[in-house]
Chain A
Amino acid sequence: MHLLLFNIIDQIRSLGWGGAFELLRNGIVLGSLYSLIALGYTMIYGILKLLNFAHGDVYMVGAFLGFGVLTAFGGALNPGIGLVPLIIIMFAVAMLGSGVLGVGIERFAYRPLRNAPRIAPLIAALGVSFFLENSAQLMTNGFQYNYDAFQLGGKNGNFGPLFDPVFTVAGNPVTVVQVLVVGSAVTLMAALIFLVSRTRLGKAMRATAFDQEAASMMGIDTDRVISSTFFIASVLAGAAGVMYGLYIGTTFYFMGFLAGLKAFTAAVVGGIGSIVGAMVAGVLVGLIESYAIGYVGGQWSDIVVFGILILFMIVRPTGLFGAQAIQKV
């Protein structure tokens, strides 16, 4: 134990401020992905009180849809179209495809169980998760695939612009793809907050989340509102999948499991049902993971993240924003 602490302090000292910023940057980028996925958990929990275990796998499908588009256009090395339209199409197809998948999951796996005991849809969610993972395994032959995004837009085998630095802080470059990930995540989250707080669908969602029966008696088509919620949640997960593919690169059929688990951790730490909580805690989990990798060691990072979840649940079972449980969506 002493040795471990000593190693950590030693590591902090040797990495210095530059290293600290590097970990901060990595944590924020990773955390943006967790936030996007965590939002899905929290929205679906908010409206149905259901832990949608299949949500991480929707993210995986999103990553593969993006990869499919990339491959269809000739792969990272020789895409048939320009970099910007390609990335836009990748996002569009992955988001739309994931959204439709989410609606389908709700329609066929959860809606028939709407009035069943709460354990039934939970088991169905696990089933959907296995179904998606195993289907993906069959369809992708169980291999890992790489976006090779560093080659995107490059000529004659040279690296493309995605990993060029946009600016440098303390000797650490912040690359195009990192700005892209954080920028689009922030945009999507801002759009979500606007949607939930200002639009009629947002009001209908909050009403349905609070009291489904009363909402339906006020003329709100709750089935449709629930479908829309699944669509939006899955769109965000699909976007996160493509972002992961562009940033980290490796997509495989099981990638949704751990990412989903961590995003779920974020949703719980943020106070499940709270949208702002999921956003904040997603970044928090990303940062903890990043600093744990840097200072404690990569093999420890998951232990640290989930250890914090356990501690957090003991100290504050309602989560960060759980005191305002009433503000849920």
Chain B
Amino acid sequence: MAEPQPSPESTQTKPLLELEGVWKSFGGLVVIDNLDLAVNENEIVSVIGPNGAGKTTLFNLITGIYPPDSGAIRLDGESLVGLPPHKIARRGAARTFQTLRLFLNMTVIENVMASQYGQTKVGIARAMLRTPGMRREEREIRARAEEKLAFFGERLMGYRWDQPAYSLSYANRRRLEIARAMATEPRILLLDEPAAGMNPSETHEITELIGKLRDDGGYTILVIEHDMHVVEGISDRVVALDHGVKIAEGTFEAVATNPRVVEAYLGTSAAVTK
């Protein structure tokens, strides 16, 4: 027997988010098929794939809407499987939604304040008595909310804070969702189609923003995106899914030109003629 060599993996830093052999089926339909996925600290990984590839299901599995049928999901080495969504959020995985799901009955800043619930403590009795501790905490929550909103430049500043969220434009709603996710103090941000429905200049802006989130905010980001310009602009690594199977992984150039990916998007004949 040769001396045990340190495997290449063990010399690397452990991935922040790690999925191992994850399966999920709804009835007879396998939606996620034996998926392995790793996202390293401070990395931006994009998940692409045609409609129905299982991208949003992947996010739902990570955030605990439903558990995987089998396989492991770990955040910073600790398993997330079986935890309720609010505990997963408190562990440090926060997401946005493809179909926006802001709290439209609340103001802009309240949305960002509400998502700090998991980080705060003051109970109902102290809140009602307006103890100094409660007031201090309220001030801190508001200050943190303002800090998150400031990340978006002029877009969500000043007079907008106390406007109801439903008065925001579509693009600003997308920004607010990101701010709300940031307020949970996550280790990893899961962005579900952040550029969906945006015009070209807004798309360009969101591309820069995602880079800034990583560079200045220090977030690790897993993003689902259909807009290939965005994917090209932000990704350290791209993972392509089709029918729940990982069909390609690597740099944007490698994945975008991978025949299986082209086939998944455009069909067999297109792949052949290409």
- The one of A194, A198, A213, A220 that contacts B114, using a Cβ cutoff of 8 Å: A220
**Contact between chains at A219 and B105 (CB < 8 Å):** no
**Contact between chains at A219 and B103 (CB < 8 Å):** no
**Contact between chains at B85 and A206 (CB < 8 Å):** no
Chain B residues whose CB sits within 8 angstroms of the CB of A203 once the complex forms: 106, 110, 113-114, 117
**Contact between chains at B124 and A228 (CB < 8 Å):** yes
> Does B86 sit within 8 A of A, measured CB to CB?
yes
Mark A184-208 against chain B: 1 for CB-CB distance below 8 A, else 0. 0000000100110011110110110
**Contact between chains at B114 and A217 (CB < 8 Å):** no
**Contact between chains at B114 and A207 (CB < 8 Å):** yes
Q: A213-B65, A219-B90, A219-B119 are in contact. Are A328 and B114 (CB under 8 A)?
A: no
> Does A136 sit within 8 A of B, measured CB to CB?
no
- Whole-angstrom distance from the CB of B140 to the nearest CB of chain A? 11
**Contact between chains at A327 and B105 (CB < 8 Å):** yes
> Does A221 sit within 8 A of B, measured CB to CB?
yes
CA A201 to CA B123, docked complex, whole Å: 8
Of B86, B119, B166, B183, chain A has the most CB atoms within 10 Å of the CB of: B86
CA A219 to CA B105, docked complex, whole Å: 18
Query: Which residues from 247 to 293 on chain A have a C-beta closer than 8 Å to any C-beta of chain B?
Result: none
- Whole-angstrom distance from the CB of A113 to the nearest CB of chain B? 18
Chain B residues whose CB sits within 8 angstroms of the CB of A219 once the complex forms: 86, 89-90, 94, 115-119, 184
**Contact between chains at A199 and B110 (CB < 8 Å):** no
Interface residue tally on A, bucketed by range: 20 to 34
Residue on B with the closest CB to A326?
A: B105
> Does A218 sit within 8 A of B, measured CB to CB?
yes
> Does A216 sit within 8 A of B, measured CB to CB?
yes
> Does B210 sit within 8 A of A, measured CB to CB?
no
Of A195, A209, A219, chain B has the most CB atoms within 10 Å of the CB of: A219
Q: A206-B103, A207-B103 are in contact. Are A200 and B86 (CB under 8 A)?
A: no
> Does B104 sit within 8 A of A, measured CB to CB?
yes
**Contact between chains at B104 and A217 (CB < 8 Å):** no
**Contact between chains at A210 and B106 (CB < 8 Å):** yes
> Does B143 sit within 8 A of A, measured CB to CB?
no
**Contact between chains at A210 and B128 (CB < 8 Å):** no
- Whole-angstrom distance from the CB of A239 to the nearest CB of chain B? 15
> Does B63 sit within 8 A of A, measured CB to CB?
yes
Mark B67-103 against chain A: 1 for CB-CB distance below 8 A, else 0. 0000000000000000011101110001101000111
**Contact between chains at B117 and A328 (CB < 8 Å):** no
- The one of B114, B122, B137, B180 that contacts A206, using a Cβ cutoff of 8 Å: B114
> Does B44 sit within 8 A of A, measured CB to CB?
no
**Contact between chains at B122 and A218 (CB < 8 Å):** no
- The one of A191, A195, A200, A327 that contacts B117, using a Cβ cutoff of 8 Å: A200
> Does B195 sit within 8 A of A, measured CB to CB?
no
**Contact between chains at A328 and B105 (CB < 8 Å):** yes
- The one of B63, B102, B115, B128 that contacts A199, using a Cβ cutoff of 8 Å: B128
Query: Which residues from 36 to 85 on chain B have a C-beta closer than 8 Å to any C-beta of chain A?
Result: 63-65, 84-85
20 further A-B pairs in the complex, CB-CB below 8 A; given A200-B120, A220-B115: A198-B138, A199-B124, A200-B138, A207-B114, A211-B103, A213-B101, A214-B97, A215-B114, A216-B84, A217-B89, A217-B95, A218-B180, A219-B90, A219-B94, A219-B116, A219-B117, A221-B84, A222-B86, A326-B104, A327-B105
- The contact sample of 17 A-B pairs, CB cut-off 8 A, is A199-B127, A200-B113, A200-B127, A203-B117, A204-B114, A207-B114, A207-B115, A217-B63, A217-B88, A218-B115, A218-B181, A218-B184, A219-B94, A220-B86, A221-B86, A228-B124, A326-B166
